[in-house]
Amino acid sequence: MTEEKVEAEKCECGGKDWKYSKSKNWHHRGNRGGENWGAVYCLGMIGVAVYYIQQVSGFWPVILAVLKAIVWPAFLLYKVFSMLHM
């Protein structure tokens, strides 16, 4: 792709500070540093799933433990806000 064509293309939101990377994906220049939170959430979910599954036995309690592991940040925030009396 030529440089003129790259500059002429715009993202769907119409932002001006977008660039076209070599991997052919649009990247926003100001959105650095937040790319690893998905990995942190995934590792947390796996850890919480192991914790919950170790405490239960049977098919349906294990399914419930996996579902709880998916939404563990909600449980964490509920506990924090209840301790802060909010």
pLDDT tens for 19-50 read 554 455 555 555 555 677 788 888 888 999 99
Q: Report the percent of the chain where pLDDT is more than 70.
A: 59
CB 49 within 8 A of CB 69: yes
Between 12 and 46, residue with greater pLDDT:
46
Range 12-16 average pLDDT:
56
pTM over cut 0.85: no
How does the average pLDDT of the chain come out, rounded?
75
